[in-house]
Structure 1
Amino acid sequence: MNCIVGVDIGTTNVKALAMSVADGQVIAQASAPVTTLFPKPTHCEQDPNHIWQELCQVLDELVQQTEAQGASIDAVCFSSAMHSLLAIDAEGKPLTNAIIWSDNRAERQAKALRPDRSPTGRDIYRHTGTPIHPMTPLCKLAWLRDNQPRLLKEAARFISIKEYIWHKLTGHHWIDYSIATAMGLFNSQTRNWYAPALKYVGIRASQLSEPKPTTTSFSYQKNQVADKTALPDGVTLYIGASDGCLANLGAGAIAPGVTTLTIGTSGAIRRTSGKPLRERQGRLFSYILDVDEAGKDSYFVVGGPTNNGANVLQWLAENLTRLDVADALAEAEQVPAGADGLLFLPYLQGERAPLWNANVRGAYLNVSWQHTRAHFIRAALEGVMFNVLTIEKMLARYTGPTRVIHANGGFAQSEFWVQMLADIFGVPVQLNASNESGAIGAILLAMKARGLVGSLAEAARQVEFGQTFQPNPDHQRVYRKTFRRFQNASTMELYSVQP
């Protein structure tokens, strides 16, 4: 029995799935946690060597499981979180920890580049498709330019966690088009590093990896690398793509009108498009999933990320309700749709889409004597969904209306919250059978690269689904009115603080 492995290098866990080529069933899986470091306020980092060790452990467990079933691994394809950045020396050794997506040290640099204020920022967004925000390597490099100029000049390269892992496995400094388009430094149309962006941050193209298509392969040989894994010699490694892009593929969201919503600690709403997208105010991303060199059969994943997902429920549990998640959701379900007028702006950790304002803050509005703990919980859950709906409304102007949502992530474990999503959006919501959409997407991309399927659209049709939720018309009417109030409140400068 032959199998393909999808590896997902996330900011919380490193995961791997092995799927049988014959019947598409998952035959093995393993995971290991990743530790995040907080050396200073607003700083979020991870140790690249720790992630490498966790990956080796995961691969060792997976190889043991597959061998026990008499299976052999044909290929491994990689998914990875976006926006990480670390400096390395000429031998590939880290000079810094990896600065990850949630790091906000570059707030000042991002503010100076905002497209509504900066012609340079507008130009960079227009060519790269990456919104200006502290999360991007563009802004992180600008921070290094201003705070650690010697490192900027002396580092041999600036790479992502995924590139660090790929170099460990292959000895090559390569970056896939998908991760590259999330950096704010890469022209997604010419598929080259964008010289004006490099000049702005003060680095050379030679300090970045060589961009490659997402289906680029390499034959793994233990004797060619210093750091060995349990993978067998000759297994084909595919460089893969970013977790957001592969999550769309792994969720089966390739066709027009199909929208993916993933909500874990944070979240993202995404569509797959045949062409790149540039939103007028620079508020939506456009990342490459797969392009061939002739420019045909191209797939771009477009949409917007939110900082505030299930972390809002965690904040309520830890600071206000003192309830576990199941009890909090059960209480909220007793309150009618619209929370009897109580409104919540969910900007507890600043916000990416749709506001792209790291300094915006959350608020409860229209609080009255009648509102109970349950109202506060329900209003918070609704606020998260209203914020995501705001992103979807922007996205629909460019990609057409949503006809169905494919939902995954931790929030999908709550039927109540998923039903709320259907009611607020007014469209059916289908749950994916597996929440590991990033790793599954990596496997499907490898299948396309190996010729096992003719296209990514064909690959997406193999994705399995669970329950479907239909919108409740009575709740829809309430939510249409409540959403208008949310839109008005979310634009008020009152809820933005100065850094």
Structure 2
Amino acid sequence: MPSVQQAAVSSSDERLVLAVDLGTSGCKCALVALDGSVQAWAFRPVPLHLVGEYGVEQDAEDWWQAFLGAAQELLATDARLRSRVMAVCCSALHECTVPVDEHGNTLARAMLWLDMRGSDAIRRRARNKWLNIQGYGPLKLVRWLRLTGGAPSLSGKDQAGHIAWLRDHDRTLFDRTHKFLGPLDFMNLRLTGRFCATYDSALTTWATDNRDLSRIRYDEGLLRVLEVDSARLPELLPSTDVIGPLMPDVAALLGLSPSTRVVAGAVDNSAAAIGAGTVRDRELHLYLGTSSWIAAHVPEKHTNLGAFIASVPCARKDRYLAMAVQSAACSNLTMLRDRILFHADELTPDESRPDVYPLLDHIADRVPAGARGLIYLPWLQGERTPVDDRHLRAGLFNLSLEHTREDMIRAFLEGVALNTRWMLEPMLAFVGCDKGAPMTVVGGGGQSNVWCQIMADVTGMVIEQPVAPIQANALGAAFIAGIGLGKLSFNDVPDLCRRKWRFEPREAMRQLYDDRFGTFKELHRRLAPLYRRINHSQSTPR
């Protein structure tokens, strides 16, 4: 159901940005002042479509309608608010692919970042006939790393894999496609009529030369390997560019002035890095959403192939964003809610799933640290960092008749935290900071005080919680708009991001979680070959 929330804080600055946060679960819209205060926000859900064995899709038209519904709800009742909106700017999920025609009409549903149908297609392009390194031909891998900072995921979970799959398996659709767009590109097309992509949005085509942040461009050699023409990809530009005014029909639908400017925006991880206030070099933020990542701005392009960490283009034109990504975080709790506690088949069409997350927090807080020996492995959809393995699966280890549902809930939260520590260790070395530095947590999962304390205890890091962690992407989009319009600078951002709590790791928990982490890594080492054998030719669990 739609929900609108009014902010408790009012701003003395009259100028507002309509900030859009399009995620896997749906679209949030917020009215944000340039001092970082959120005046109001609304949300519309977007459904997922599961296709065959490995396909996961969403309808881009559903993204657009969710945006219109949320934005209209914010703007419809208050002409004064509408008059204060000076810009629209989006943050959006990425590693997704939307084929559109020359008029911007969608030709098929978008393949999402969870979609692994392109695995075989991208593996064929990435490898050589004889000698390969981790599945890549050596010369191809060197070129990708040198130019882009990374390489296509062999799981097929990015634009390179999606486009390769469409070329191999739906050639008619491939040939009809005028442009392959990401979600941010699609939203900007509908807002302005312009086919364009930001440097970070285009990253996972794995066709851009990112060595010089002042002139990122498509590389013909990479395009040949991927078997796609640059004409089918959108124009490249920085996140802070003003890409045009609103289309007149969109302005009319929203009740905004046709002169309202649209700033290019950023993909979710880039926007979250800004909205978290972590704009200085080597300041870490942890995003806890459907998936999860740890990121920090750095001045240099670098790659750790062994841990699948890279520094890549982002919202800042003078910095890279070092990224370590895990496939499933809050989606583990969603699965717990929808498949175990409140199965979708048990709800009537008019019922919505209850908001059980505060209850899960309360229950988990009553269970002793360590969940009485129960360990949860949160690999619902394979894993990406520090291993890229699509065969891994989630599971509860050491379950006995003594355990209760309460223990399982605690184990789920601890399992995601253990997985976060797993990718944090190589990330700290990559970025060049130690555990003494704080890490800001944002995203929906960052609202949980219980989970924040678990994260601090498990990782040994000080965890800083903003006033509204769930609004980080919207704040990031608003700040990017302010910077693009010359009203703010990146140096202003840290002072605009207010902190709520600071969670210190508790020394009493250190030995417990050190031991548990050792067991967690041993479970991966022993079970990975079994998962590979079991899931090599089987479909992904739904």
- TM-score w.r.t. structure 1 length? 0.90
Which residue of structure 2 lines up, in the alignment, with residue 381 of structure 1?
A: 413
Tell me the CA shift for residue 470 of structure 1. Answer: 1.2
Residue of 113, 116, 134 corresponding to 1:116: 134
Q: Deviations over 1:414-433 (max 9, x none)?
A: 32221110111112211111
| Conserved? CA contact 2:192–2:247, under 8 Å | no
Query: Does structure 1 residue 139 correspond to structure 2 residue 161?
Result: yes
**In 2, Cα distance between equivalents of 1:321 and 1:36:** 20
Query: Does structure 1 residue 269 correspond to structure 2 residue 294?
Result: yes
1:447-466 alignment runs, 5 A limit: 447-454=482-489, 456-466=490-500
Q: Secondary structure at the match of 2:508?
A: helix
Which residue of structure 2 lines up, in the alignment, with residue 431 of structure 1?
A: 465
Alignment length, in residue pairs? 492
Which residue of structure 1 lines up, in the alignment, with residue 313 of structure 2?
A: 288
Distance 1:145 1:226, change over 3 A: farther
Which residue of structure 1 lines up, in the alignment, with residue 72 of structure 2?
A: 60
Answer with 310-319 or 266-275: which moved more: 310-319
**In 1, Cα distance between equivalents of 2:47 and 2:294:** 26
Which residue of structure 2 lines up, in the alignment, with residue 183 of structure 1?
A: 205
RMSD over aligned CA atoms reads: 2.7
Residue of 206, 217, 234 corresponding to 1:209: 234
Which residue of structure 2 lines up, in the alignment, with residue 79 of structure 1?
A: 91
**In 1, Cα distance between equivalents of 2:94 and 2:338:** 28
Q: Secondary structure at the match of 1:262?
A: strand
Residue of 23, 43, 46 corresponding to 1:10: 23
**In 1, Cα distance between equivalents of 2:274 and 2:388:** 26
Q: Secondary structure at the match of 2:205?
A: coil
Which residue of structure 2 lines up, in the alignment, with residue 303 of structure 1?
A: 323
Answer with 419-428 or 29-38: which moved more: 29-38
Which residue of structure 2 lines up, in the alignment, with residue 37 of structure 1?
A: 49
Q: Secondary structure at the match of 1:491?
A: helix
Query: Does structure 1 residue 491 correspond to structure 2 residue 511?
Result: no
Which residue of structure 2 lines up, in the alignment, with residue 470 of structure 1?
A: 504
**In 2, Cα distance between equivalents of 1:170 and 1:330:** 45
| Conserved? CA contact 1:447–1:459, under 8 Å | no
Tell me the CA shift for residue 110 of structure 1. Answer: 4.8
Tell me the CA shift for residue 246 of structure 1. Answer: 0.5
**In 2, Cα distance between equivalents of 1:65 and 1:271:** 39
Tell me the CA shift for residue 223 of structure 1. Answer: 4.8
Tell me the CA shift for residue 450 of structure 1. Answer: 2.4
Residue of 461, 482, 487 corresponding to 2:516: 482
Q: 2:196 corresponds to which letter in structure 1?
A: W
Distance 1:47 1:362, change over 3 A: closer
**In 2, Cα distance between equivalents of 1:223 and 1:414:** 41
Q: 2:19 corresponds to which letter in structure 1?
A: G
Distance 1:90 1:450, change over 3 A: closer
Tell me the CA shift for residue 251 of structure 1. Answer: 0.8
Which residue of structure 2 lines up, in the alignment, with residue 390 of structure 1?
A: 422
Tell me the CA shift for residue 220 of structure 1. Answer: 1.4
Distance 1:227 1:144, change over 3 A: farther
**In 1, Cα distance between equivalents of 2:418 and 2:77:** 43
Q: Deviations over 1:313-361 (max 9, x none)?
A: 3434455567954554444434432334433322122222222211112
Q: 1:470 corresponds to which letter in structure 2?
A: E
Can you give the 5+ residue segments of structure 2 that lack an aligned partner in the other structure?
1-13, 128-132, 344-355, 538-542
Residue of 232, 238, 241 corresponding to 2:257: 232
Tell me the CA shift for residue 263 of structure 1. Answer: 1.4
Tell me the CA shift for residue 67 of structure 1. Answer: 2.3
**In 1, Cα distance between equivalents of 2:171 and 2:336:** 41
| Conserved? CA contact 2:282–2:297, under 8 Å | no
Distance 1:2 1:339, change over 3 A: closer
Q: Deviations over 1:424-475 (max 9, x none)?
A: 1112211111211111001111222222233x13223211121211111010
| Conserved? CA contact 1:28–1:66, under 8 Å | no
- TM-score w.r.t. structure 2 length? 0.83
Distance 1:432 1:101, change over 3 A: same
Tell me the CA shift for residue 269 of structure 1. Answer: 1.7
Answer with 255-264 or 200-209: which moved more: 255-264
Which residue of structure 2 lines up, in the alignment, with residue 279 of structure 1?
A: 304
1:349-428 alignment runs, 5 A limit: 349-367=381-399, 370-400=402-432, 401-402=434-435, 403-428=437-462
Distance 1:217 1:381, change over 3 A: same
Residue of 155, 175, 179 corresponding to 1:153: 175
Residue of 227, 241, 253 corresponding to 2:266: 241
Q: 2:147 corresponds to which letter in structure 1?
A: H
**In 1, Cα distance between equivalents of 2:440 and 2:166:** 39
**In 1, Cα distance between equivalents of 2:277 and 2:18:** 18
Q: 1:201 corresponds to which letter in structure 2?
A: L
Distance 1:326 1:4, change over 3 A: closer
Tell me the CA shift for residue 371 of structure 1. Answer: 4.1
Tell me the CA shift for residue 282 of structure 1. Answer: 6.3
* Identity level (%): 25
Tell me the CA shift for residue 121 of structure 1. Answer: 4.5
Tell me the CA shift for residue 210 of structure 1. Answer: 0.7
**In 2, Cα distance between equivalents of 1:124 and 1:220:** 36
Tell me the CA shift for residue 164 of structure 1. Answer: 2.2
**In 1, Cα distance between equivalents of 2:335 and 2:246:** 47
**In 1, Cα distance between equivalents of 2:372 and 2:47:** 41
| Conserved? CA contact 2:440–2:463, under 8 Å | yes
Which residue of structure 2 lines up, in the alignment, with residue 295 of structure 1?
A: none
Answer with 389-398 or 7-16: which moved more: 7-16
Can you give the 5+ residue segments of structure 1 that lack an aligned partner in the other structure?
293-297
Q: 1:445 corresponds to which letter in structure 2?
A: I
Tell me the CA shift for residue 386 of structure 1. Answer: 1.0
Distance 1:310 1:28, change over 3 A: closer
